[in-house]
Amino acid sequence: MRAITFDIESISDSNVRGHIDVAEQELIVVAIHDSETGEYSSFSREELPKLWPIIERADLLIGFNSDTFDIPLLNRYYPGDLSRIRSLDLLVEVQKALGRRIRLQSLAEGTLGRGKTGEGLKAGDWWREGKHDQVRQYCIEDVRLTRELYDYALAHDALKYKDLRDIRELKIDTSGWEELAATPVMTHALQL
């Protein structure tokens, strides 16, 4: 199974009361982990044609808040339909188990003992300041956290999260995750 764990960074001048409107975002960087090669890499908007063949060969896309943010935004740039490729959104899985959303920071601190390397809203500022390598590295680190959380959940059927001062364990039903990726189905959106 070839899984692509991914995250995007975007930029926008609109941010109303903390709500980010996907329709008003512009993609600046996509970072991925390719399970086939074990490599992390990133792509700017201009480099997206290099990303599409990798996405096309994926059996599963893994992200965090990817079903409602990353995939819809990335789909605006994709010549096919990313929603036809199987995906697993860790935030959706957490919400199913806990009944509410939890930030990636909280899950990473609780499960992995370390957090994010910055704030997503700062990435736009860094990009405008010409700190493109910093944005790429930040995005890759979010992908690394997401991938490690996915692997931890598969191994332990649980994730941990920081809730104020306490670390709490959250049982996650991962029984269908590998089946999701292993089920033969046409997932490719472009005609090759």
pLDDT tens profile 79-101: 999 989 999 999 999 999 999 99
- SS3 per residue for 131-171: CHHHHHHHHHHHHHHHHHHHHHHHHHCEEEEEECCEEEEEE
Q: Above 90 in pLDDT, residue 21? A: no
- Exposure string of 72-94, with b = 16+ CB inside 10 Å and e = fewer, is ebbeebbeeebeebebbbbbbbb
The single-letter code of the amino acid at 185 is: V
Taking 3-state DSSP, the helix, strand and coil percentages for the chain, each rounded to the nearest 5, stand at 45, 25, 30
**Higher pLDDT, residue 28 or 164:** 28
Could you give phi then psi for residue 103, rounded to 5 degrees?
Answer: -70, 150
pLDDT (tens digit per residue) in 29-46? 999 999 999 999 999 999
Which position has the token pair 């605006």? Answer: 76
Q: What is the DSSP secondary structure assignment for residue 113, as one 8-state letter? A: S
If pLDDT is split at 50, 70 and 90, which confidence band does 125 have? confident
Q: Which domains does the chain have, with CATH numbers?
A: 3-176 (3.30.420.10)
Quick one: average pLDDT of 186-191? 48
> In the predicted model, is pLDDT for residue 185 greater than 60?
no
Single pTM value for the model = 0.89
Per the CB < 8 A criterion, the answer to whether 121 and 12 are in contact is: no
In whole angstroms, give the CA distance from residue 30 to residue 55: 12
